[in-house]
């Protein structure tokens, strides 16, 4: 586990201001060269051998990424992969450009990669360097592999060349560490990351970082009345399910949480008694991605030593089929005393989160954010390029959407409210778990979850419809995107969401 946490940090970053000399390029295996859309000869000539690169660029299709792919005439025969962009491009466009550029460069193995941004204003230069570096740190991270032959080592050193002045890369590195952890956990196969192993991995991380760790097992959850979570867990053949609480306290250990992060951690989802078909079940080891994002966000917060008191709640279980598994029309009682009539056992995420949100909100944090791969209807509504976002503070919608545009992890707001609860009226319980028809299920599910937020605590729910996207998304090269870590850090650091949510 310690090797995992240090893996992304093993990429050493060095910065060099001033001229890009031949000597500075000698150790470089691949050079990423970023220029304005209409680069001048003077821009190319900042790099030794720039005239040759400019000529190579003229032979490629206009607008191609990369715009140039050539070699320097030095001892290492440095591969130069260059591209042009407009500084006014959106953050998502710049991050996507960075992913493509890095992919072209890393088709060839090498240990030292350099980034050089030329011809932009200083503020634009810094932002572009940060975007490219984020893509490099994502691509350079080793995802889980169980092949008999180990893959050759990838990027080990990154050089930032030609800077007007040194930049602070701590935030990019922290967000990358959190995202890499989220993607690594989500990609692990289900026999390697079962509910017991997951809780142990989290415990090891907490111990390593001096966080408070508490695991609530089935017996304790029974005493706490967590009937919704336990309904999902009762199909497991062992007592493996748990709700794990982590506490990060840079100040007083007794401080009330500023922020509570909550994650759905269904380590494998069969659909339960209402069994999923093969294609729908194939990748259901990734149904715990919400919890991985919550954990990865906490890692990023801790890496930056943010002066916030943060709780992290992970609802960890499987959703199994078997004689003891819960069924349609069962009646269960959640931790807040509300009774739920189950309708479809594959709507297990909202059940597991319901009790977890009760426990989180009873701690009276200033804000709760939960993450879950919750509904297929959210994918149907906005595809896998955006994630859905919901809140009990409707005035936050413009800000939540704007944050996504600003950081490149884009979200689309949806309404919730009592009008949607009309769909969940039950003759025998306080509310149904879901509807039979499933229309607008992402909205219905979020409205259901809102019923388990106590004390009118400000709350944001992220339905991770972009948790997986074929070919990667923005700067992330893998299908599993780890969406949410970067977004949450932007909410905290760029948009001061803790003040706005009150």
Q: Which are the catalytic amino acids?
A: 276, 350
Closest by CA position to 501, among listed 363, 399, 402, 358:
399
Give me the helix-helix angle, 397-407 and 485-493, nearest 10°.
110
Yes or no: say if 343 and 432 are a contact pair by the CB < 8 Å rule: yes
Q: Which two tokens stand for residue 68?
A: 């140039």
List the beta bridge partners of residue 368: 260, 459
| Nearest-angstrom CA–CA distance, 442 and 463 | 8
Sort 123 into a burial class: Cβ within 10 Å, 0-12 / 13-18 / 19+: exposed
Q: Which parts of 79-177 are beta strand (E)?
A: 79-85, 112-117, 157-163
Q: Indicate the pairing of strand 387-391 with strand 459-463.
A: antiparallel
Question: Torsion-angle region of residue 329: left (phi > 0), alpha (psi -120 to 50) or beta?
Answer: left
Query: CB under 8 Å, gap of 24 or more: what pairs does 67-73 form?
Result: 67/35, 68/33, 69/104, 72/25, 72/31, 72/47, 72/48, 73/49
Helix (H) / strand (E) containing 311: strand 310-319
Cα dist. 495→35, 310, 386 in Å?
Answer: 30, 18, 19
- Sequence-separated (6 or more) residues with CB below 8 Å from residue 143: 183, 184, 187, 478
Task: Tally the residues of the chain.
Answer: 502
Q: Cα-flanking dihedrals φ and ψ of residue 297, to 5°?
A: -65, -40
| Nearest-angstrom CA–CA distance, 36 and 115 | 15
Report the SS3 class of residue 67. coil
List the beta bridge partners of residue 158: 13, 113
| Nearest-angstrom CA–CA distance, 333 and 343 | 14
């Amino acid at each position: 586990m310690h090797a995992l946490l240090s893996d992304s940090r093993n990429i050493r970053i060095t910065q060099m201001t001033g001229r890009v000399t031949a000597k500075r390029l000698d150790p470089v295996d691949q050079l990423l060269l970023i220029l304005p859309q209409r680069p001048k000869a003077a821009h190319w000539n900042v790099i030794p051998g720039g005239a040759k690169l400019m000529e190579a660029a003229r032979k490629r299709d206009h607008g191609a990424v990369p715009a140039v792919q050539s070699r320097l005439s030095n001892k290492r025969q440095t591969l130069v992969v260059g591209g042009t962009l407009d500084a006014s491009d959106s953050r998502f466009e710049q991050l996507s450009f960075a992913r493509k550029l890095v992919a072209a460069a890393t088709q060839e193995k090498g240990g030292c990669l350099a980034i050089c941004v030329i011809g932009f204003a200083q503020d634009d230069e810094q932002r572009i360097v940060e975007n490219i570096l984020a893509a490099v740190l994502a691509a350079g991270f080793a995802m889980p592999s169980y092949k008999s032959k180990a893959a050759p080592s990838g990027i080990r050193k990154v050089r930032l060349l030609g800077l007007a002045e040194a930049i602070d890369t701590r935030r990019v590195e922290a967000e990358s560490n959190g995202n890499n952890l989220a993607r690594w956990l989500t990609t692990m196969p289900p026999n390697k990351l079962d509910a017991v192993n997951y809780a142990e991995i989290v415990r090891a991380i907490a111990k390593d970082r001096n966080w408070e760790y508490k695991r609530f097992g089935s017996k304790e959850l029974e005493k706490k009345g967590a009937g919704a979570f336990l309904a999902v867990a009762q199909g497991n053949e062992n007592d493996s399910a748990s709700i794990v609480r982590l506490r990060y306290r840079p100040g007083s250990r007794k401080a009330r949480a500023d922020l509570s992060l909550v994650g759905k951690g269904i380590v494998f989802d069969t659909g339960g008694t209402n069994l999923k078909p093969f294609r729908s079940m194939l990748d259901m080891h990734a149904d715990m991605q919400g919890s991985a994002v919550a954990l990865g966000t906490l890692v990023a917060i801790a890496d930056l030593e943010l002066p916030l008191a943060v709780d992290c709640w992970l609802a960890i279980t499987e959703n199994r089929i078997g004689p003891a598994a819960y069924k349609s029309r069962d009646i269960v009682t959640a931790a807040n005393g509300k009774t739920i009539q189950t309708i479809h056992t594959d709507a297990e995420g909202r059940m597991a989160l319901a009790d977890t949100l009760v426990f989180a909100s009873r701690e009276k944090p200033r804000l709760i954010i939960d993450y879950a791969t919750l509904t297929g209807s959210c994918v149907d509504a906005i595809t896998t390029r955006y994630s859905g976002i919901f809140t009990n503070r409707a005035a936050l919608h413009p800000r939540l959407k704007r944050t996504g545009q600003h950081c490149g992890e884009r979200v689309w707001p949806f309404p919730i409210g009592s009008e949607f609860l009309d769909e969940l009226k039950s003759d025998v319980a306080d509310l149904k778990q879901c509807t039979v028809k499933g229309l607008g299920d992402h909205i219905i599910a979020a409205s259901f979850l809102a019923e388990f937020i106590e004390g009118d605590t400000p709350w944001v729910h992220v339905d991770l419809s972009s948790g997986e996207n074929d070919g990667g998304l923005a700067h992330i090269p893998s299908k599993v995107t780890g969406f949410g870590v970067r977004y949450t850090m932007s909410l905290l650091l760029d948009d001061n969401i803790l003040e706005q949510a009150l």
